Amino acid sequence: MALTRIAGLSLQAQKTFFIETFGCQMNFHDSEKVAGSLVLQGYRQVEAAEDADLILYNTCSIRDKAEQKVFHRLADFKRLQKEGKKFAVIGCVAQQEGERIFERAPHVSLVAGSSSYRSLPQLLVQIEQGERATGLNDRETSQTFETEFTARTNPHRGYITIIEGCDKFCAYCVVPYTRGRERSRTSQSVLEEARRIADSGLTEIQLLGQNVNSYRDPIGRASFAELLAEVGRVPGIRRVRFTTSHPRHFTRDIMEAIDTVPTLCDHVHLPVQSGSSQVLQAMQREYTREQYLERIAWIRAARHRSIAITTDMIVGFPGETEADFRQTMTLLDEVQFDGIFSFKYSPRPNTPALAMENAIPEEEKTARLAALNEKQREIQRPNYARHVGEIVEAMVEGYHPARGQIAGRSSQNKPVNFTIPEGSPPPAPGSYVPVRVTRAFPNSLAGELATESGVEPGKSLAEAPGPCSRI
Ligand code: 5AD
Ligand code: SF4
């Protein structure tokens, strides 16, 4: 029996796949799980589309530009169909466009949204038999996508999806239509995965979800804050991050967890989208500027450390007046974000904002975006400069021999590039080292290994006890 299975597996292992991912971290992690499912089906992952029997595109439809990318890619690689290769479009564009994708790109065999990934093994069998397959009807499911194997590609950070889908229906956003209903995994399964990640030697975990703080344990009672704290206490884990939080459900107990569990990182990403309460109401965000600022005050009041705060902003939402936009600009002054991701509003299919009047002309959106980014650059300069002279703990992510620099990241999620004494070996990727910050740029810090702090260069601190944030 075992022999047959092994023989079967080795035969199937001839099949290869290549997966390209567009969009957010959630999508990147979905791809790691999809790849895991394919490996369990006997496929082998390859690094180039040309070498694969099956080419998958895991797509994003959050903005029009992201959506168009996959159609360009499909056109570019159409010629490979002649070699017998099969194509699959999965993720948000797949769910949004459904079978229309077959019309636009007839060489595609499989179209599946993220709520249908559980059915991938059956869908693969169908396409292997030369049929077309679709997985598009599972958006109402209450089940999550659990995989026996996840083909993790990030060598330093283990991602864990704790909640899938979104029930928020913000007026501009396509996600509730593409990712389906909100559904949480059990805390038991999340914690088991966290322990497996720690056992595999990774020391950093990032909890993922469209709205992580809407998390509800389907069988136990764990709130998001309790789950976060538990993950932070898993032996071997030194850094825990989470994204994305919705301000409406950002409750004080999350800050209490951060105050009491030192492995929870010094960073909160809290998308605000606009500084104007009128625009927030039109966006159906369910909080006002004042309520958002109240959450910021909680974060600023963290007991032991300074927490970096980043956000997402949309400019040019329908009806956004000059005065509304000024409110967004003054919010930047008031909060002093450590970083922002800013976007021009992009009309999306199915969303309520699509039918709204008073669309903002493209040139005006472009001008507002430029003004916003310019202001944020001014704010970030002193924000990053404040770190000069500090010793920050960096997790080593890579080595640039040409620049003679090691790339790392602080607990606040700021890139920290640093040098090491000549002749000493570079510290191991994934290790934690103290860096004396000597220079600051608007988006990164630079410095040198702080050897006199008692840490030998090149020596991994990964096993050393202690929190990620305080050195
Ligand atoms: N247009 C522009 N930006 C959008 N986002 C979501 N939907 C849209 C849209 N229709 C942005 C929001 C969100 C981030 C992931 O993408 O800022 O937080
Ligand atoms: Fe991620 Fe949203 Fe893009 Fe889907 S549409 S891939 S959920 S960012």
For the stretch 32-75, pLDDT in tens is: 999 999 999 999 999 999 999 999 999 999 999 989 999 999 99
Phi, psi of 425 (to 5 degrees): -70, 145
Ranges in the chain, pLDDT < 50:
1-13, 454-471
Find the 61 Cα to ligand 2 centroid distance in Å: 6
**Cα 21 to averaged position of ligand 2 atoms, centre (Å):** 11
Strand bridging mode 44-45 / 16-21: parallel
Q: Which ligand is nearest to the CA of 166?
A: 2
Pairing type for strands 16-21 and 54-59 reads: parallel
Contact 195, 114 (CB under 8 A): no
Helix (H) or strand (E) holding 371: helix 362-385
Quote the ligand 2 centre to 24 CA distance (angstroms): 6
CA pair distance 181, 197, nearest whole angstrom: 27
Closest ligand, as measured to the CA of 173: 1
Nearest to 29 by CA among 65, 53, 58, 66: 58
Distance from the alpha carbon of residue 444 to the mean position of ligand 1, in angstroms: 24
User: Residue 26 CA: which ligand 2 atom is closest?
Assistant: 1
Q: What six digits make up the tokens of 181?
A: 């209903």
> For the CA atoms of the chain, what is the radius of gyration?
23
Q: How far is the CA of 162 from the centre of ligand 1 (A)?
A: 21
Q: What is the dihedral of CA 419, 197, 190, 302, to 10 degrees?
A: -30
Residues with CB under 6 A from ligand 1: 62-63, 172-173, 271, 273, 312, 314, 343, 345-346, 348
Residue nearest to atom 16 of ligand 1 (CA): 62
Q: DSSP letter string over 131-198?
A: --EEE---TT-------S------SSEEEEE-EES-----TT--HHHHH-S-EEPPHHHHHHHHHHHH
236 CA from centroid of ligand 2 (Å): 31
Is the Cα dihedral 358, 361, 362, 363 positive or negative? negative
Q: What's the confidence (pLDDT) of residue 452? A: 63
Task: Compute, in degrees rounded to 10, the torsion defined by CA atoms 153, 154, 159, 164.
Answer: -50
d(CA 317, CA 128): 45
Q: How far apart are CA 440 and CA 380, in angstroms?
A: 10
Smallest-distance ligand from the CA of 21: 2
pLDDT of residue 424: 87
Of ligand 2's listed atoms, the one at least distance from the Cα of 61 is 5
User: Hey, what are 249's tokens?
Assistant: 């459900």
Q: Which residues pair with 269 in a beta bridge?
A: 310
pTM metric for this prediction: 0.91
Distance CA 231, CA 249 (A): 20
* Structure tokens, 282: 């039109």
One-letter amino acid for residue 168 of the chain: K
pLDDT 10s digits, 84-135 = 899 999 999 999 999 999 999 999 999 999 999 999 999 999 999 999 999 9
Which ligand has the nearest atom to the CA of 349?
A: 1
Ligand 2 pocket test, candidate residues 26, 31, 32, most atoms within 8 A of CB: 26
Distance 135 CA to ligand 2 centre (A): 17
Q: 114: which 2 tokens? A: 């993220």
| Nearest atom within ligand 2 for CA of residue 92 | 4
How far away, in angstroms, is 358 Cα from ligand 1 center? 19
Question: Strand 432-440 to strand 445-449: parallel, antiparallel, or no bridges (unpaired)?
Answer: antiparallel
The conformation of residue 426, written as its DSSP 8-state character, comes to P
Which residue's alpha carbon is at the smallest distance from atom 7 of ligand 2? Answer: 175
